Amino acid sequence: MIELHHLNKTYQVDGRQVTALQDIQLQIPAGQIFGIIGRSGAGKSTLLRTLNLLERPDQGRVLIDGIDATALDQAGLRTLRQQIGMVFQHFNLLAHRTVAANIRFALELAGELDASAMAARVAELLALVGLTEQAQQYPAQLSGGQKQRVGIARALANQPKLLLCDEATSALDPQTTQAILQLLLDINERLGLTIVLITHEMAVVRAICDRVAVIDGGSIVEQGTVVDVFLHPQHAASRNMVAEDGHAAVLDLAGKLHSVAGKLLRLTFVDAATYEPVIAEVGQQLASPINILQGSVGRIKDRPYGQLIVGLQGDVSAAQAAFASRGVRCEALAA
Ligand SMILES: Nc1ncnc2c1ncn2[C@@H]1O[C@H](COP(=O)(O)OP(=O)(O)OP(=O)(O)O)[C@@H](O)[C@H]1O
């Protein structure tokens, strides 16, 4: 478990103060994939770097499994950092070392294994990220996705309990992004390690995260499960992020449907309800037609969801009760 308590960070730029982090309060459960999403300049990198104290907060505490990282001496910090791997947007590989030697470098720095143990560990890591065949190639001979696989293998070399990902897929095309996200998901499930990632894309959060915090202007403006934040964003910054992931219509439609007769409802289906003929059943039960006006379906991590705006001629409370009894959230919207 990682706990951030009242973190503040200000930079001095040309004699003026730039607030990068403002009273950050976060709890990141062990074993989860936790996303921090925000626009450029929101404070994501600064926040991520406070987790391994690459950036020291001006105020506040960073607790990792109950240990206050901000109070550690240099030796304590070195030990802590060995338990934290980091993956970078631009890979940060050593150009003159082969793939295997790039991964081995992390083991050499830790200095805990002899040569044969290092070779065995490197082979294991290459297999984990699917690069056994490329072991003797140099970074310049690799695709972006392969470079990031090396970056991930290197970050995992010393068996960290926490992996920090700094826009790990932002330099990759959409297909490669999906492959790298699946690799991170696989690693999280197989090794049980906690992953904290920063991104400016809700699609990344939706694909693999369990929980998400939205950062805006250096403050956390919203946090929760991805299902809650994605389907019911409360803050304007979160709504914009969701909208950019192609979910705008359902979120913003309500105000544009003045001409529709009846009441407007937003229905949210998650998991099993997604596959049931709920609309038809409720329409029959209430003996009033339900008119589908707009909709969106997809997946949040491994969970199917659907969100519909419907028009209803009948009684809203009865409809809400009927939908609730079938596991569907139903909100009345102001038309
Ligand atoms: N070393 C620094 N010196 C001065 N100002 C900084 C420094 N690092 C960050 N900042 C400022 O702090 C604020 C937050 O920056 P940060 O890099 O954390 O944001 P970000 O959300 O990661 O942005 P991006 O997605 O563009 O990387 C910005 O206003 C930035 O200009």
CA of 147 to the centre of ligand 1 (A): 25
pLDDT in tens, 266-323: 999 998 877 888 888 999 998 988 888 888 888 999 899 999 989 888 889 999 999 9
Residue 316: helix, strand or coil by DSSP? Answer: helix
Q: Which residue, judged by its Cα, is nearest atom 3 of ligand 1?
A: 11
ipTM: 0.97
Closest ligand 1 atom, CA of 167?
Answer: 25
What letter would DSSP give residue 246? I
CA of 45 to the centre of ligand 1 (A): 7
- 211-216/33-37 β-pairing: parallel
pLDDT in tens, 29-65: 999 999 999 999 999 999 999 999 999 999 999 999 9
**Which one of 242, 268, 301 terminates a domain?**
242
CA of 20 to the centre of ligand 1 (A): 6
Residue 80 has pLDDT above 70, yes or no: yes
CA of 242 to the centre of ligand 1 (A): 23
CA of 59 to the centre of ligand 1 (A): 17
Task: Please give the tally of structural domains in the chain.
Answer: 2
Shared-domain flag, residues 154 and 301: no
DSSP 118-129: HHHHHHHHHHHH
Instruction: Examine residue 32 and state whether it is found in any structural domain, yes or no.
Output: yes
Residue ranges lining ligand 1, Cβ < 6 Å: 11, 13, 18, 20, 38, 40-46, 200
Shared-domain flag, residues 188 and 321: no
The C-alpha atoms of residue 118 and residue 133 are separated, in whole angstroms, by 18
Mean pLDDT lowest for which of 143-147, 161-165, 251-255?
251-255
Give the global pTM: 0.91
Shared-domain flag, residues 99 and 123: yes
Amino acid, res. 269: F
Instruction: Examine residue 248 and state whether it is found in any structural domain, yes or no.
Output: no
Closest ligand 1 atom, CA of 43?
Answer: 18
What stretches of the chain show up as alpha helix (H) in DSSP? Answer: 44-51, 74-82, 99-110, 115-129, 144-156, 174-191, 202-208, 226-231, 236-242, 248-252, 278-286, 316-324
- Tell me the residue range of the domain where 294 lies: 253-333
* Per-residue pLDDT, 258: 61
Q: Which residue, judged by its Cα, is nearest atom 30 of ligand 1?
A: 41
Instruction: Examine residue 247 and state whether it is found in any structural domain, yes or no.
Output: no
Read off the tokens for 282.
């409720």
